[in-house]
């Protein structure tokens, strides 16, 4: 096992901070590369969204790719993002009032998880399940989400610790190796609906995050890849050759996930970012080193 990746934050000529990052790659069920601890357990957070969108891919055969992509997204509330969320809500015969990702209707629509929540409302309507409380543990929407993540990761549902995510839905605890295995599974032919999810993500990388989002940048930099970031410094990817990858910043700093994933995937410093002050001036860099 290789040493962890280190991502440096440099202001001027001085290193101001350093983040320790763990990463693993899995192909055909086997670990093919790692840095740090592939057994590290953490919560998938928003990296679970492509799996939570699988019921839409399976059941909503006329769903446009843009609406399926926004259900997988942690979006920046740009006009194209909000238009896709509103279209998904209309399909569910729902409004922003029905979203349970916040309290204020206007802010709920702009919440970066509103697409996922709109998709869950649509799935509940299609199945005839109660709309209220769709986000809560024990609701069929969340029980199905757990089962789908377990299937993809190859872990029994009762072996997956759960908690409440930032937007109020259930989130799932897995090792990085299991997350990488799950994303490899998305690229396979034996997970129903996965092909539609992968196609929607590949064709709409800016809907998945935004122009400055690290997962969008990774999809634009690596042909055929899908990428989904999660809170607390997590990044998961599926590559065109069937490899799944999971990257986790030990201290939860989101700013380090993209640069670390870029280094792990052979992009060098291509995903290094800049430190910008309140005047819009570049005053430093965030970049990886092995």
Q: Give per-residue pLDDT as tens, 219-275.
A: 999 999 999 999 999 999 999 999 999 999 999 999 999 999 999 999 999 999 999
The domain locations on the chain are 5-156+163-289
Q: Give per-residue pLDDT as tens, 206-221.
A: 999 999 999 999 999 9
pTM, two decimals, is 0.96
Q: Give per-residue pLDDT as tens, 102-122.
A: 988 778 999 999 999 999 999
Amino acid 86: pLDDT: 97
Percent of the chain with pLDDT over 90: 96
Tell me: domain 5-156+163-289, CATH 3.30.1140, correct?
A: no
If we measure between CA atoms, which residue out of 122, 168, 163 comes closest to residue 146? 163
Amino acid 1: pLDDT: 59
């Amino acid at each position: 096992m290789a040493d962890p990746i280190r991502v440096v934050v440099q202001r001027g000529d001085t290193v101001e901070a350093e983040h320790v990052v763990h990463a693993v790659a899995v192909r055909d069920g086997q670990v093919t590369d790692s840095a740090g601890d592939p057994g590290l357990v953490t919560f998938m957070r928003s990296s679970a969204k492509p799996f939570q969108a699988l019921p839409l891919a399976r059941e909503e055969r006329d769903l446009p790719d843009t609406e399926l992509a926004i259900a997988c997204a942690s979006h920046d509330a740009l006009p194209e993002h909000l238009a896709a969320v509103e279209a998904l809500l209309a399909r569910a015969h729902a409004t922003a009032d029905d979203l349970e990702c916040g309290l204020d209707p206007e802010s709920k629509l702009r919440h970066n998880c509103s697409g996922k929540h709109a998709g869950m409302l649509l799935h509940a309507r299609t199945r005839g399940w109660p709309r209220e409380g769709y986000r809560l543990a024990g609701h069929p929407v969340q029980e199905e989400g757990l089962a789908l993540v377990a299937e993809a990761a190859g872990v029994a549902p009762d072996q997956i610790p759960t908690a409440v995510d930032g937007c109020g839905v259930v989130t799932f605890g897995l090792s990085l190796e299991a997350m990488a295995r799950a994303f490899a599974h998305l690229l396979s032919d034996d997970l129903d609906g996965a092909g539609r999810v992968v196609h929607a993500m590949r064709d709409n990388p800016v809907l998945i995050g935004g122009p400055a989002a690290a997962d969008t940048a990774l999809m634009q930099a690596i042909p055929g890849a899908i990428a989904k970031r999660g809170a607390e410094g997590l990044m998961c990817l599926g590559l065109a050759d069937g490899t799944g990858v999971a990257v986790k910043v030990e201290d939860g700093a989101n700013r380090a996930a993209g640069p670390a994933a870029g280094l792990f995937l052979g992009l060098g410093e291509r995903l290094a970012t800049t430190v910008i002050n309140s005047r819009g001036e570049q005053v430093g860099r965030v970049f990886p080193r092995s």
